[in-house]
Chain A
Amino acid sequence: QVQLLESGGGLVKPGESLRLSCEASGFTFSDYYMNWIRQAPGKGLEWVAYISSSGSAIYYADSVKGRFTLSRDNTKNSLYLQMNSLRAEDTAVYYCARKGAYSGYDTFDHWGQGTLVTVSS
């Protein structure tokens, strides 16, 4: 079955960096676009970034553009999010999510369990 396992979260100070990882299994990772979606404590869902199956196309939310870098290694079935210049407002649970297409309609059809990033002095 499809599994997505995030890691790398933790407590950091404002301005510091963190690298999140998402290890995929149970499907052909290199066939799928992948996303990071975050959820601040007690808040709703915010899409952060996505990367195409080959890694040739990457898009970011305006809130993280220039600070976060998304990459993938299809040989390791892994997705990465390098987060630099972290701010208090980046505090959230970060989810790795697969983009699934059903009859031409895109969805986030599988999600990891999430990893918590806390930015605080």
Chain B
Amino acid sequence: DIQMTQSPSSLSASVGDRVTITCRASQSIGRYLNWYQQKPGKAPKLLIYAASSLQSGVPSRFGGSGSGTDFTLTISSLQPEDFATYYCQQSYSSPPNTFGQGTKLEIK
């Protein structure tokens, strides 16, 4: 199975900051990498697919990059509603569809 490792596990930042979250795959997955946002008590929401494509309706301050084994999610200017937990997920090899362990983004 492909293992997905996110860093950091948690992150404190302020409104307006630029934030980057990293996801590393245990083997090359091309661009088969998705990012999700989850707020407390809510279901995850798809933000980015194919490493860098923005899902419809997602603000342009969210961006994704990378290919192979190393990927990043960047939020260019944090907004109050962006404080949440973010997960990466590989869709290169399934089953199983594996997720990273999550990165909790908190207000500083």
Contacts and interface: CB of A to CB of B under 8 A. Distances in A.
Interface string B74-108: 00000000000001010100111111111000000
A35 B96 CA distance: 11
B44 A46 contact: no
A74 interface: no
Contacts, number: 69
A109 B46 contact: yes
Interface residues of B, number: 25
Decide if the interface of chain B is mainly helix, strand, loop or mixed: loop
Majority DSSP secondary structure for residues of A touching B? strand
Interface of B: 31-32, 34, 36, 42-46, 49-50, 53, 55, 87, 89, 91, 94-102
20 contacts: A44-B99, A44-B100, A45-B102, A46-B99, A47-B95, A47-B97, A47-B98, A50-B95, A59-B95, A95-B44, A100-B46, A102-B53, A103-B50, A105-B53, A105-B91, A106-B97, A107-B55, A109-B46, A109-B49, A111-B44
Interface of A: 35, 44-47, 50, 59-62, 95, 100, 102-103, 105-109, 111-114
